[in-house]
Structure 1
Amino acid sequence: MTVELALSDALVTGGKGAAILAAGFWAGMINVVVGSGTLVSFPVLVLCGYSPLVANISNNIGLVGGGLSGTIGYRRELRENADLARVLLPASLVGGIAGALLLLVLPDEAFGTVVPALIAVGLLMVVAGPFVQRAAARRASAEPAEADRPAPPARRLGLLSGIAVVGVYGGYFGAAQGILVVGLLSILTAESLQSVNAVKNLLVTGVNLVATLVFMTVAWGSIDWPVVALLAVGATLGGVVGARVGRRLPPRLLRTLIVVIGTVAIVNLVFF
């Protein structure tokens, strides 16, 4: 009887491990292509019996590998936008540290009611981005001298502030953080969607990294390392696949994919 119980426990544990590994792969792939993988992996961890806090922290750390492999996959686009990335990364990192610290002092439900609204705002920005960029291009062609001028201070300040706020959200929970970043960059810059996606991967990965350092420093007891390991393996492989797929998607199809996945995420959060 003891042997049978041990075998049963092993099968349950093995099934749970396979589910977490698969969730990590899917989340890593989605994060690179779109940016809402936490909406896959976090619920899986909760369904596997982990507390929301442990699931949230372990998920954040486990998905770092996928962010790194995805960022490397977009290295060509990232090199082409190195100046933009250097400007935005510090704001994103500061926000990520603040968000990770908030997670340790605020209840898990604090952002629960605003997450769907944030995702909806991000989707609206993703959809509106091409129209805003085309309008800016028309203005630049009508006044060629304007094209060489730097972005207005208000726009630069808005972009930096927005990226910092999204970083806070990412350090706290991070669901669809990537969609919000893509939306902001689509509205406030003239970069192509693939370039935006490359910068997004760097910023989101940076937030996850600094949040990981915070959690390892002040919340070690809330980290489940076997879960982190399974997620990391799955997410790293998913990030490699996601970069290969995402870089080949036409902008319109990629934008459509972002909107569809974001909409499904909102429905899931609101009704389930």
Structure 2
Amino acid sequence: MSVWEALAILLAGIGAGGINAVVGSGTLFTFPVLLALGYPPVTASISNSVGLSPGAITGAIGYRRELKGQGRRAARLAVMSCAGAVTGGVLLLNLPSEVFELVVPVLILLACVLIVVQPRISAWVRSRRGAEHRGRGPLLPLGVYGAGVYGGYFAAAQGIVLISILGTALDEDVQRINAVKNVLASVVNATAAVFYTVFAQPEWPVVGLIAAGSVMGGYVGARLGRRLKPFALRGLIVTVGLMAAIHLVVERF
């Protein structure tokens, strides 16, 4: 690995860590860089997942104020995220990549639609059932599990998928939802990192560079993201999500 290649990976890791703390889709910074440098897709995906896990934890810590009062909820949902990440890891090592490559852009677009209409859905659900019943049914844990499967297989935009699921099910401010999202995404990334370390062969120099960059980016991203107004944060999430979906479609065709 040349100095310039190492610098490119490090900078991509910084960008990925920052955008993951605010929205998600940080993989779209690092994954294309690794492919451009000649790493095989599966190796790039595995190394990327392991490398981004420290940055995800940094982003979650940066939102600790918004997590106040949500500890039990986050812990309960984290179990589903962990199980989903293991399932996604098994799929990545055993299924052809074409299966999820077809589904991923559709999932991201649906998530963006959910984020746009989520305030109206939330108001409707609140009027029908009452705020005290929101998030208590089986749909939220199952949705978080599904997001964990997606994140364990291909981490790009898992944050957008999580925010859309949490925002529809929970009667919370978008910043508090984003805080829970960061915790669950960090659980998925950490679980996937352990899984791939045991059952696969990451490129450890790449992992180290992405990890260092993502920690720096996650800290800065959390500080900036917490200052955004709910409307601005929602708009940023949708914008990044649409860009992610377009990028994946263009890459495929």
Alignment of 1:1-272 (within 5 A): 13-138=2-127, 146-148=130-132, 150-151=133-134, 156-219=137-200, 222-272=201-251
Q: Is the 8 A contact 2:134 2:171 kept in 1?
A: no
**Which has the greater radius of gyration?**
1
Counterpart secondary structure, 1:104: helix
Count of residue pairs brought into register by the alignment: 251
Letter in 1 for 2:18: M
* SS in structure 2 at match of 1:203: helix
Alpha-carbon shift at residue 113 of structure 1 (Å) = 0.9
Residue 135 of structure 1: CA displacement? 2.9
Amino acid at match of 2:138: L
Is the contact made by 1:32 and 1:239 (CA closer than 8 Å) also made in structure 2?
yes
CA positional deviation for 1:90: 0.5
Deviations 1:144-200 (A, max 9, x none): xx454x3386xx211111110110111111110000000001111111100110000
C-alpha separation in 2, matches of 1:109 and 1:29: 29
Shift, 1:138, TM fit: 4.5
Listed one character per residue, the Cα deviations across residues 44-87 of structure 1 (whole Å, up to 9, x for unaligned) are 11111101111000000100111011010001111232122122
TM-score normalised per structure 2: 0.95
Question: What does the per-residue CA deviation read over 1:110-135, in whole Å, with 9 as the maximum and x for residues that have no partner?
Answer: 21111110100111111111112233
Q: Percent identity at matched positions? A: 45
Residue type matched to 2:48 in 1? N
For 1:244 and 1:195, the matched residues in 2 are separated by 14
Structure 1's 161 and 13: CA in aligned 2 closer, same or farther, altered over 3 A?
Answer: same
**In the alignment, residue 48 of structure 1 is paired with which amino acid?**
L
Native 8 Å contact 1:171 1:208 kept in 2: yes
Q: Distance in 2 between matches of 1:58 and 1:27?
A: 14
Output the aligned Cα RMSD. Answer: 1.5
Task: List runs of 5+ in structure 2 lacking aligned partners.
Answer: none
The runs of 5 or more residues in structure 1 that have no matched partner are 1-11, 141-145
Q: Contact 2:82–2:187 (CA<8 Å) still a contact in 1?
A: yes
Q: Distance in 2 between matches of 1:138 and 1:94?
A: 33
**4+ runs of 1 displaced by more than 4 Å?**
137-140
Q: Could you tell me which amino acid in structure 2 is paired with residue 151 of structure 1?
A: R
Assess, with a 3 A threshold, how the Cα gap between structure 1 residues 271 and 152 changes in structure 2: closer, same or farther: closer
Letter in 1 for 2:208: A
Moved more, 102-111 or 117-126: 102-111
